[in-house]
Amino acid sequence: MKKTINELLLFGALSLIGLCILILRIKLTLEIYYIFLIWNMFLATVPLILVQILHFINKKYLQIALVFSWVIFFPNAPYIITDVLHLQYSNPYHFQMDLALISYCAFYGLVAGFYALQKLNIFFKVNWSWSSKMVIQFNISLFFLSGFGIYIGRFLRWNSWDIVQAPKSLFLEMWTLFTEPITHLNVWLFTIISGFILWLGYSIFTKLCALSAPKLINRYREYEN
C-alpha cells in the first residue's frame, strides 16, 4: 500500500510540474488556450490508477473488466504527443514556451503510460501466470490498437467513454474504416507507424528499467506479500 501511495504521489508531483508550467504560460500570455492539457494529463494518469486498483482485486471477472477498461484508456497516455498540432496556432512570441509545455506534458503521458503498462505486464506474469510470449503478444496488439485509438481520438474526435456513451455511432464509423481500408489508407498508415513508435519506445523504456531493476518481479512479489 505504501509503495502504491508513493508511486501516485510521484506522478502527482510530475503532473504538478506541468500545471506550474501551464500557469506560468497563462500569467505571461494572458491566454488560457492550453488549459485542456490538464484534462489530457489526467486521462494519461487513468491507466496508472487502474493498474494500482487492479492489485487489490481478487475476483477474476473484476480483474478482466478492469483490464478491459485499462486498454480503453491507455491510448490517452501517448495521445498527448499529438497536441503538438496546436502549435500551429501559437503566437510566434510564445512558440518556445508552448513547445516546452506540450513537450513536458507529452513526456509525462508517455512515462505514465509505459510505467502503467510495465506494472500490468508484471501483474499478468505473477497473477495470471502469463508467459513472456503472451505478454509480448498483448503489448504488440495494444500498441497498434493504441495507434488506431490515437487516430480516431485526434482526427475523428472520439473519446474513450464513447464506447459506452455512443456505441452505435462509434461502431458504424469503425465499420466504415475496416470495410473500406483502401479509401482510408491514411488511417492504417498512421496506426502502423504510431504502433511501431510505441513499441520501440516501450522496448527502450523496459530495457532501461531492467538495467536499474533486474529483479523487478521479485520485488513486486515482496510488495504483494
Q: Would you say residue 195 has pLDDT above 80?
A: yes
Phi, psi dihedrals of residue 145, rounded to the nearest 5°: -65, -40
Q: Would you say residue 213 has pLDDT above 60?
A: no
What pTM was computed for the model?
A: 0.89
Q: What is the pLDDT of residues 53-90, one digit of tens each?
A: 998 899 999 999 999 999 999 999 999 999 999 999 98
What is the structure's pLDDT at 3?
A: 76
Domain that holds residue 66: 2-224
Q: Would you say residue 205 has pLDDT above 90?
A: yes
Assign 217 a pLDDT band (cuts: 50, 70, 90). low
Sign of the CA dihedral running 208, 123, 76, 28: negative
Assign 164 a pLDDT band (cuts: 50, 70, 90). confident
What is the structure's pLDDT at 218?
A: 58
Alpha-carbon 42 to chain mean position: 10
The count of other CB atoms within 10 Å of the CB of residue 125 is 16
Domain tally, the chain: 1
Phi, psi dihedrals of residue 90, rounded to the nearest 5°: -75, 145
Share of the chain above pLDDT 90, in %: 78
Alpha-carbon 61 to chain mean position: 23
First to last CA, the chain: 11
